[in-house]
């Protein structure tokens, strides 16, 4: 009954997020500082730049690639390199960055040069690849299905680990002719990695080391946020089947325009914008102000309802295990009444876990539980008391508080 009541409260929000059927694929905000005095008609007509255009405006070269997964999803990836490089070097070590729930590849460059991790890695001589998982605004195509088909949305983060990540890794190693890559993940990106490493451990042979920022694996201690509440609310499979929608759509023109108005640095409503992000991902975020204005054009980037449901199952069960279809569905899919746990004992490669004490999504105690299961893991606490789930990407001083540590860890393992 509680989940039904909560879901009834959330449905207007879910519907509002997906209300605009007119999307702006591959478009983004031209700059991060927008005068609040702009005429509304200008706000409506402002172009939204693609990730490649954002990178090019920041002084970097960028390319887009399409990757097809084993089960037919077509994923868009973005590749960055320094504009000062006249020809592409074949000796650069590739690094794949993978975003979290409701997010997309832009998150790794939103903070701008010298601050955003994507740009910092390019400046350090890495071949940088930004991934987009199935269902987000840049990966909404399939070889046989459309987003109007319910079957398109019958996935959770399990399939991202089983199919999306392997397809991205295979494409990068083939394109770069490098045998191994680095990985950096945030939140759900880490979930997908640990699914892959548990179920398809052979792919660890293609990864040098992982830097996992706030990986969402064990989640029984999750604190209050709208993201957590919505995940718990969608746990019931019967409830999911009765929902009028199968996904949360990417923000369209309406939300993007609202974002331009309330999230610009000069807006008197900027605090409202910040509070909306805080409501979903945890309070007291120490955000770079200009970043929220930019990311309001891309997030929410879209997701399947099943991604939320799978996280809700993790919160309730306290386990890291496969999707729970109910007794009958589990017998059909797994041959047992309960879904099997992912075997984290298979994760043998070097893994660095980064976490904060003010993160209500991936709580410190849950990260420490994950650390105890990893044979080759290390942990690093962010030395800032108010560091929240989104500060890993858009926080003030995130480059000095976190990214320099990641660069040092990667340099230690660089081949």
Task: Name the DSSP letter for residue 399.
Answer: I
Cβ(274)–Cβ(86) under 8 Å?
no
Question: Is 185 in contact with 355 (CB distance < 8 Å)?
Answer: no
- The residue from 187, 264, 267, 304 that is catalytic is 187
* Annotated active-site residue in 99, 246, 310, 389: 389
How far from the centroid of its chain's Cα atoms is residue 84's Cα? 29
Q: Is the dihedral of CA 340, 344, 347, 348 positive or negative?
A: negative
Positive/negative CA dihedral, 188, 190, 192, 198: negative
271 is catalytic: no
Helix (H) or strand (E) holding 209: strand 207-213
Question: Which of 247, 359, 366, 391 is an active site residue?
Answer: 359
Task: Answer yes or no: are the C-beta atoms of 164 and 199 closer than 8 Å.
Answer: no
Q: What is the DSSP string of 120-187?
A: HHHHTT-EEEE---TTSTT--EESS--TTSGGGG---HHHIIIIIHHHHHHHHHHHH--S-EEEEEET
Strand 351-355, strand 303-304: pairing: unpaired
99 counts as catalytic: no
Helix (H) or strand (E) holding 276: helix 270-281
| For the chain, counts of helices (H) and of strands (E) | 18, 11
* Cα 13 to the center of its chain, rounded Å: 20
Enter the DSSP assignment of 203.
G
Cβ-Cβ contacts under 8 Å for 312 (sequence gap 6 or more): 231, 232, 233, 234, 235
Contacts of 168 (CB under 8 A, 6+ apart): 67, 75, 77, 96, 98, 129, 131
Asked if 139 is an active-site residue, the reply is no
For strand 73-82 and strand 94-98, is the pairing parallel, antiparallel, or unpaired?
unpaired
Q: Are 217 and 366 in contact (CB under 8 A)?
A: yes
Catalytic residue list: 187, 359, 389
């Amino acid at each position: 009954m509680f989940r039904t009541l909560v879901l009834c409260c959330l449905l207007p929000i879910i519907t509002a997020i997906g209300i605009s059927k007119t999307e702006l694929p591959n478009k983004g905000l031209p700059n991060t500082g927008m005068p609040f005095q702009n005429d509304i008609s200008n706000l409506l007509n402002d172009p939204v730049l693609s990730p490649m255009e954002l990178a090019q405006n920041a002084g970097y070269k960028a390319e887009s690639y399409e990757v097809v997964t084993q089960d037919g999803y077509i994923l868009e990836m973005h590749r960055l390199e320094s504009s000062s490089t006249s020809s592409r070097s074949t000796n650069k070590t590739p690094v794949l960055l993978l975003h979290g729930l409701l997010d997309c590849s832009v998150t790794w460059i939103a903070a701008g040069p010298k601050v955003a991790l994507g740009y910092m890695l390019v400046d350090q001589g890495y071949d940088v690849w930004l991934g987009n998982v199935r269902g987000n605004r840049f990966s909404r195509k399939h070889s046989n299905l459309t987003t109007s088909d319910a079957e398109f949305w019958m996935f959770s983060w399990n399939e991202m680990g089983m199919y999306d990540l392997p397809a991205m890794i295979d494409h990068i190693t083939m394109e770069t002719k490098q045998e191994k890559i680095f990985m950096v993940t945030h939140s759900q990106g880490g979930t997908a990695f640990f699914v892959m490493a548990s179920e398809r451990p052979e792919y660890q042979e293609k990864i040098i080391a992982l830097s996992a920022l706030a990986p969402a694996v064990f989640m029984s201690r999750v604190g209050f946020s709208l993201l957590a509440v919505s995940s718990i609310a969608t746990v019931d499979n019967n409830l999911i089947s009765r929902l009028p929608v199968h996904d949360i759509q990417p923000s369209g023109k309406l939300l993007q325009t609202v974002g331009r108005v309330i999230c610009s640095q000069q807006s008197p409503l900027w605090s409202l914008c910040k509070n909306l992000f805080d409501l979903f991902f945890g309070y007291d975020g120490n955000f770079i102000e200009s970043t929220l204005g930019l990311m309001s054009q891309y997030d929410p980037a879209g997701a399947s309802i099943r991604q939320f449901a799978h996280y809700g199952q993790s919160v309730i069960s306290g386990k890291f295990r496969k999707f729970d279809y109910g007794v009958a569905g589990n017998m059909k899919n797994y041959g047992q009444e309960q879904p099997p746990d992912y075997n984290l004992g298979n994760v043998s490669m070097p893994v660095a876990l980064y976490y904060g004490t003010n993160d209500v999504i991936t709580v410190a105690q849950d990260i420490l539980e994950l650390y105890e299961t990893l044979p080759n893991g290390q942990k690093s606490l962010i030395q800032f008391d108010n560091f929240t789930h989104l500060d890993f990407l858009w926080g003030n001083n995130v480059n000095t508080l976190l990214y320099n540590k990641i660069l040092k860890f990667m340099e230690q393992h660089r081949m």
